[in-house]
Amino acid sequence: MKLIIKKDYEEMCAEAAKTIKEQLDHKKDTTLGLATGSTPEGVYKELIKYYKNGEIDFSQVKTFNLDEYIGLSKENINSFNYFMNDKLFDHINIDKKNIHIPNCDGKNIEEFCRNYDKMIEDSGGIDLQIVGVGQNGHIAFNEPANQLSFGTTIVELAENTIEINSRFFDSIEDVPKKAITMGMGTIMQAEKIIWIANGKGKSKVVEKFLSEKTITTEFPVSILKLHKDLTIIVDEQACSSLGR
């Protein structure tokens, strides 16, 4: 496990984007696992900058996103499909057929979940997975529970997640209660994982992860301790509970 502490959000994003660029330099047909939310937004801005400067090529890259709300169409501005197009895909030379984001518009969501894992497997697996973390320790939408799914599955969002994510919606009632998420097993099968966290709001979760020696499904991010190639990139505020 490698911990990188950067001064602020901008530097954290630049570091994560540099790692992604190095991965693509090394393997042009990389399969990336991608996250949504406030944390990776700046990383995607940096990747777009690299692309506009002609320093990165996404033409052979495949992507699989971690999760998506159930009940929002792809066109809904709060859907993760919309977010990814708006924040990254519409601005780079990725082949749209290589983009995979859970899609809940279809009728058989269970079948979709099984196929999603199969598609990841068939693409040769995820080379580099980016994850953010919830304040309750969730990874993707794997919420704290006494057991977690190995593969892609349907989940009920935790109250705390609904509350926190309501900042993007007109009202808390509009936040979907369910989502599709990659399971912890799918995430852990990635060759390399980069966990990014910034701001005071994430300091408790970062401190708990770094100080506790246990692994528990009640704190899903703790499972990342078992990964063979985990890099944690945080800003100083996310480490403030550690007295840094």
Distance, in Å, from the CA atom of 167 to the CA atom of 143, rounded to the nearest integer, reads: 19
> With respect to ligand F6R, which residue has the nearer C-beta, 56 or 221?
221
Binding mask 115-144 for ligand F6R (x = CB under 6 A): -----------------xxx---xxx----
| C-alpha radius of gyration, the chain, whole number | 17
Across the beta sheet with 67-69, the strand order is 67-69, 178-181, 153-156
> With respect to ligand F6R, which residue has the nearer C-beta, 60 or 85?
85
* Residue 36 lies near ligand F6R (rule: CB under 6 A): yes
Considering only 37, 42, 144, 176, the residue that binds ligand F6R (CB under 6 A) is 37
> With respect to ligand F6R, which residue has the nearer C-beta, 140 or 194?
140
The catalytic residue positions are 67, 136, 138, 143
Residue 13 burial by Cβ neighbours in a 10 Å radius (0-12, 13-18, 19+): buried
Please say whether the beta carbons of 15 and 46 come within 8 A: no
Rounded to an integer, what is the distance from CA 13 to the centroid of its chain? 14
Footprint on residues 175-214 left by ligand F6R (CB under 6 A): none
Considering only 16, 17, 20, 35, the residue that binds ligand F6R (CB under 6 A) is 35
Beta carbons within 10 angstroms of residue 55's beta carbon: 12
Binding mask 54-93 for ligand F6R (x = CB under 6 A): ------------xx--------------------------
Q: How far is the CB of 193 from ligand F6R (least distance, A)?
A: 12
Q: How far is the CB of 54 from ligand F6R (least distance, A)?
A: 29
Distance, in Å, from the CA atom of 217 to the CA atom of 185, rounded to the nearest integer, reads: 12
* Residue 39 lies near ligand F6R (rule: CB under 6 A): yes
Please say whether the beta carbons of 63 and 94 come within 8 A: yes
Taking CB atoms, the residue at the shortest distance from ligand F6R is 132
